Amino acid sequence: MKILSLVLNLFFLALFLFPFLGFISKKSIKKGAGIQRHAYAIIPAHNEENVIENLINDCKATGFDGVFVVADACTDKTINKAGRLRARIYEVHEHNKGKALSKALPHILNKLNDTDAVYFFDADTRLEKDFLAKSLPYLGDNEVIIHHLRIPNNRTWVSRMYIILYAYLYRFQSALSLIGVSNVIPGNGWACTVKVLKDYPFTVDTLVDDLEYTLKIKVPVRFVDEGIVVYNEAPETWGVSWRQRLRWTRGGFQLLFGDYSSYAFSKSFVLLFPLASLFYTFSFLQSLLHPVSFLINLPTALLINMLFYGLFLDKKDWEQVKLYDLINFFFFSLSQYVIIIISLFTYREKTWVRTLHKGGDIKNEVG
């Protein structure tokens, strides 16, 4: 039993340190097949009147040939605002992002050619004017490409937690690329050809449609960094963040305890994320059995946490966060253990809870 415990500890320690490989210089990324493609943006939206106009205007400015809005049970002005900007609108009533896309995509894809490119964006996304010109040449026929996600809003301490989290995830994706493993589709800013979506229909059942689709497709997911950035608004209040992280964690367990027969073996490493969260949580609960030792070691753990995550922040990140945010991030991370425990007992709950997006005058580098 002690040997098994040691092996597990070493394994998950390696997984924890794995993102540091992302600092190693990567080989230049090959461009796609050189085909002149039409490109279309697909935006799932549920009551996104605060942000939908910004994204549609960004898509037009960057050169997309068309914009499709999948309006899921909208009761605000989302449809009217998107319509005024001549976006093509598909109304569904699923109250679930993944299922809304599953229902609308067959109708959208029937209007497009197999070689056309489709990009998926959350409604709160912002794009630079040269985004498509930079991104499209890298897309091959039988693959998914993803890009660097950044958080543009730093108005509250909660949103700054996501700047730190995304800096860590950026290095994780970079490390996967370095060792030649397929990357993980994030929920925002990924692209593929129509052919890929026809070969592997976007039929998802969990609360983490991005991870689920990563597991189900048998084509590579390629991380194209090359200075291409997708800006993603982060939650700004504790309550919104809590509900979002609860949805993410429940979805992870839905995959872990799901139907393995539908998963591609080469992508099975994705299941390490919920598995590792369980391991770290049980280790944390075990440490609470010795409260005196836990309190004595708490300052050391805090310092290690600050140094660890601080290393992942680049110059732009440091312009948006404060040093004390690394202290906040330590306690923000501790709250995740509570979320994991709750999710473990409620993971069958599949109600989609939307993340409120405010838009407005956010601090960002978008030109």
Please choose, from the candidates 101, 108, 124, the residue with its C-alpha nearest in 3D space to the C-alpha of residue 50.
124
Largest CA distance in the chain: 65
Residues 6 or more apart whose Cβ sits within 8 Å of residue 38 = 65, 66, 112, 113, 116, 117
pLDDT tens-digit profile, the chain (367 residues): 567 667 667 776 777 788 888 888 666 677 766 678 999 999 999 999 999 999 999 999 999 999 999 999 999 999 999 999 999 999 999 999 999 999 999 999 999 999 999 999 999 999 999 999 999 999 998 899 999 999 999 999 999 999 999 999 999 999 999 888 899 999 899 999 999 999 999 999 999 999 999 999 999 999 998 899 999 999 999 999 999 999 999 999 999 998 878 888 778 888 888 888 888 788 888 888 888 888 888 899 899 999 999 999 999 999 999 999 999 999 999 999 999 999 999 999 998 888 888 776 554 444 4
Distance in angstroms (rounded) separating the CA atoms of residues 182 and 244:
26
Distance in angstroms (rounded) separating the CA atoms of residues 322 and 48:
30
Class in CATH terms, 39-233: alpha beta
φ and ψ at residue 237, rounded to 5 degrees: -125, 155
What are the residue boundaries of the structural domains of the chain, listed by start? Answer: 39-233
340 by Cβ neighbours in 10 Å (0-12 / 13-18 / 19+) ranks as buried
pTM assigned to the model: 0.92
